[in-house]
Amino acid sequence: MSWNARVARVAPFRVMSLLEAAQAREAAGHDVIHLEVGEPDFATPEPVVAAGHAALAAGQTRYTPAAGLPALREAIAGHYAEHFGAAVDPGRILVTPGASGALLLASQLLAGPGDRVLMADPNYPCNRHFMALAGAEVEAVPVDAQSGWQLDADLVARHWRDDTSLAMLATPSNPTGHMLDAGRLAAVADTVKARGGELLVDEIYQGLCYDLEPLSVAAITPDAFVVNSFSKYFGMTGWRLGWLLAPEAAVEPLTRLAQNVFLAPSTPAQHAALAAFTPDTREILEGRRRELGRRRDALLAGLSRLGLAPSLPPQGAFYLWLDVSRYSDDSEAFCRALLEEENVAITPGTDFALTGGERHVRIAFTTGEARLEEAVSRLERFLARR
């Protein structure tokens, strides 16, 4: 059969096959430590679950407007004002089926055949793939510790071409966990605007910050498109709910797209998410953020003992981007062997980086400190045999 050629540009997400292998080993009785998938071991906060139950009990199961519940859009706008000092009109917010829904809308509006999109390399692979499905060409710009593992203004200026239409950032980033501070973020926004382009910022891990204060590009410019999610900071992964903040002029075409692509986000999930912004939930979420910070520090201490700690520790999210080139130049083989020999599941860097991915792995500190310490001990045994 003949398939759309754009689909061929979408590579497999290797972490999912590794997760499947890890789960198979677990089912066979092995004690597997899961550090591969970006989902912490926290349940959805109880106030959110209770709000979801209440919505179902009240029969809140009918369609909402395509852009989401007005009350939820207002709550999100209030979140920007309270925590980031950004005055955001609720009408500029579209609630979506996960951040993936927001990325789909943004990519279809902003990218197409003949367009070139700049983004960092490494990056979350689906960001590249959404742009490829829209028909655009992605220029993945290699970043490293020198640029703070981010696509900064200097790199944007150097790589911008006549056919470049869009720059996409992620802060904090997946897989490295690094951030752009307000000054560097503003410099990127100015650089893109001066060239007549658009700026799309992935803020999915916003709020999960350990060394810098959380910030949003919405407090810097009203012209950026912003993708966010209830999955990471708010702990609602399986509820599949996110949002897209857009410039006012883009709201109408984005709403038309939403109406046709997914009609509306999940109604019970939206009602549940209203409780994500209450003081009780905020207290729970901040406690979890502090716990993730302790996990990061424990993992860094263990890796430092092995001489493997990264030179620039992650400032946010819940990942470490680790150079394993002393032991392997094939990160996929490295991860498979670590799983088979020591029952520790981590992710090959080839999922995220087009350049250098074979020398790196991503470790998610999404389990407790005791399990992280055990994982480091198993890794030490594994490396001793290399």
Mind listing the pLDDT tens digit for each residue in 75-105?
Answer: 999 999 999 999 999 999 999 999 999 999 9
pLDDT at 164: 98
Mean pLDDT of 15-25: 88
CA dihedral 351, 356, 358, 364 (to 10 degrees): -50
Q: What separation in angstroms does the CA of 309 have from each of 122, 179, 290, 296?
A: 18, 18, 20, 11
Mean pLDDT of 294-322: 96
**Dihedral sign computed on CA atoms, order 87, 90, 94, 98:** positive
pLDDT at 11: 73
pLDDT at 282: 98
Mean pLDDT (the chain) is 96
Class of residue 334 by CB neighbours under 10 A (exposed 0-12, middle 13-18, buried 19+): buried
Reported residue count of the chain is 386
Helix axes 279-305, 46-57, angle to 10 degrees: 140
Mind listing the pLDDT tens digit for each residue in 162-197?
Answer: 999 999 999 999 999 999 999 999 999 999 999 999
- What type of residue is 180? L
Mean pLDDT of 256-282: 97
pLDDT at 6: 76
- Beta-ladder partners of 170: 202
The token pair at 185 is: 């973020």
Which pLDDT band, with edges at 50, 70 and 90, does 37 fall under?
Answer: confident
User: Among residues 306, 318, 322, 307, which one has the least CA distance to residue 357?
Assistant: 322
Phi and psi for 165 in degrees, rounded to 5?
-120, -15
Q: What angle do CA 244, 182, 311 make, to 5 degrees?
A: 105
Mean pLDDT of 261-271: 97
User: Among residues 250, 244, 352, 363, which one has the least CA distance to residue 302?
Assistant: 363
104's CB contacts (< 8 A; 6+ apart) are 96, 130, 261
Mind listing the pLDDT tens digit for each residue in 133-147?
Answer: 999 999 999 999 999
Question: Is the pLDDT confidence value at 331 over 80?
Answer: yes
The token pair at 227 is: 């993708």
- Which domains are delineated in the chain? 5-43+281-384 (3.90.1150.10), 61-278 (3.40.640.10)
Mean pLDDT of 111-134: 96
Question: Is the pLDDT confidence value at 155 over 90?
Answer: yes
CB 250: neighbour CB atoms within 10 A? 20
3-class DSSP state for residue 306?
A: coil
Instruction: Answer yes or no: are the C-beta atoms of 119 and 156 closer than 8 Å.
Output: no
Question: Is the pLDDT confidence value at 1 over 70?
Answer: no
Which pLDDT band, with edges at 50, 70 and 90, does 15 fall under?
Answer: confident
Which pLDDT band, with edges at 50, 70 and 90, does 161 fall under?
Answer: very high
pLDDT at 99: 97
pLDDT at 142: 97
Start-end of H helices in the chain: 14-27, 46-57, 70-84, 98-110, 125-133, 153-159, 182-194, 251-261, 267-273, 279-305, 331-342, 369-384
